[in-house]
Amino acid sequence: MIVERIWINNRLRNYNYLIACPQTGEAMALDPLAHQLCLQRAQLRGWEITSILNTHEHPDHTAGNVPLMSMTGAPVLAHHGAQGKIPGMSHALRAGDSVRVGTSVVLKVLDTPGHTRTHVCLLWETETPALFCGDTLFNAGVGNCHNGGHPEALYQTFSTQLACLDESTQVYPGHDYMVNNLEFTLDREPSNQAAAALLERVRDLDPTELPITTLGMEKQINTFFRLSQPEVIERLRDQTPGLAEDPSEEAVFLRLRQLRNDW
Ligand SMILES: [Zn+2]
């Protein structure tokens, strides 16, 4: 599998991806908002875009579908529940489905509600695993739940699916909010050395140069994976009257998600 991460330099700081089979040169365009840029990049690499996949229904992920379809003839794959909400959608995905790219790449579909009710992540289950996580997991943060999502569903997705993946899994999110998210982690847990070191390293980097994190790193730098850290809980207590003596991880997650809304 070859991954081309494309920074499209818009206000929402989207990443688009091309996921290619090195054997055949076939490529999947993932959330190709900047459809022309995706097509140019594929041509530059000698790849043919043979499928389009959307992680979820938001227009900043789907608005490139129809033009890219008309230029490539590629089908559009998305969560089965998003039918009618996604332009050009032709193939419905369910948890456990396999999506093939060329002859050598197989991606497993995870049904990951929370940011929206109909969100999928793609998992490349190999010795060097990778997760394409749309707006579910960001570097050092999580997606919001403002537009059709639900924080409790997001917590369930985190605790029962993402937290269980191998720590070496590389993380490919749908947006770059790394600096802001690290600042939020440090606001919640000022003694977090790993987050402070990474922030120092990335603060002035161009988004095209930002490092790819792993789930193991996320568990160090992402406050939403650090729900039982005493410092996180103690600082939350100051802003959360009535927080239980020994709060559940879910209660901590939901309160952090609430605080992040106003950050
Ligand atoms: Zn979204």
pLDDT band at residue 42 under the 50/70/90 scheme: very high
φ/ψ of 58, rounded to 5, equals -65, 140
Q: How far does residue 58's CA lie from ligand 1's centre (Å)?
A: 5
Q: How far does residue 56's CA lie from ligand 1's centre (Å)?
A: 7
Q: How far does residue 63's CA lie from ligand 1's centre (Å)?
A: 12
Q: How far does residue 131's CA lie from ligand 1's centre (Å)?
A: 16
| pLDDT at 103 (0 to 100) | 98
Tell me how far apart the alpha carbons of residues 224 and 125 are, in angstroms, rounded to a whole number: 24
- Percent pLDDT > 90 in the chain is 98
Q: Is the pLDDT of residue 234 over 90?
A: yes
Q: What is the CA radius of gyration of the chain?
A: 18
CATH number at residue 251: 3.60.15.10
Tell me how far apart the alpha carbons of residues 19 and 24 are, in angstroms, rounded to a whole number: 12
| pLDDT at 52 (0 to 100) | 98
| pLDDT at 170 (0 to 100) | 98
Question: What confidence tens digit (pLDDT) does each residue in 195-213 have?
Answer: 999 999 999 999 999 999 9
Residue with tokens 């996180």: 232
Question: What confidence tens digit (pLDDT) does each residue in 80-109 have?
Answer: 999 999 999 999 999 999 999 999 999 999
Residue with tokens 């992920």: 61
Tell me how far apart the alpha carbons of residues 63 and 204 are, in angstroms, rounded to a whole number: 30
The overall average pLDDT reported for the chain is 97
Query: 49 with 27: CB under 8 angstroms?
Result: yes
Question: What confidence tens digit (pLDDT) does each residue in 106-143 have?
Answer: 999 999 999 999 999 999 999 999 999 999 999 999 99
What secondary structure does DSSP assign to the chain, as a single string? -EEEEEE---TT-BEEEEEE-TTT-EEEEES-SSHHHHHHHHHHHT-EEEEEE-SS--HHHHTTHHHHHHHH---EEEEGGGTTTSTTEEEEE-TT-EEEETTTEEEEEEE--SSSSS-EEEEE-SSS-EEEEETTEETTEE---TTT--HHHHHHHHHHTGGGS-TT-EEEESB--HHHHHHHHHHH-TT-HHHHHHHHHHTT--GGGPPPEEHHHHHHH-GGG-TT-HHHHHHHHHH-TT--SS--HHHHHHHHHHHHHT-
Which of these, 102, 29, 91, lies nearest to 63 by C-alpha position? Answer: 29
If one counts the domains in the chain, the total is 1
For residue 44, the one-letter residue type is L
Q: How far does residue 115's CA lie from ligand 1's centre (Å)?
A: 7
Q: How far does residue 196's CA lie from ligand 1's centre (Å)?
A: 27
Q: Is the pLDDT of residue 263 over 90?
A: no
| pLDDT at 229 (0 to 100) | 97
The whole-model pTM stands at: 0.97
Q: How far does residue 87's CA lie from ligand 1's centre (Å)?
A: 15
Q: How far does residue 133's CA lie from ligand 1's centre (Å)?
A: 11
Residue 128's domain comprises 2-261
Query: 172 with 138: CB under 8 angstroms?
Result: no
Q: How far does residue 172's CA lie from ligand 1's centre (Å)?
A: 14
CA distance to 126, 150, 176, 199, 219, per residue, from 194 (Å)? 27, 29, 19, 9, 10
φ/ψ of 152, rounded to 5, equals -70, -35
Q: Which residues face 151 on adjacent strands?
A: none
Tell me how far apart the alpha carbons of residues 147 and 242 are, in angstroms, rounded to a whole number: 28
Mean pLDDT, residues 159-173 taken together = 98
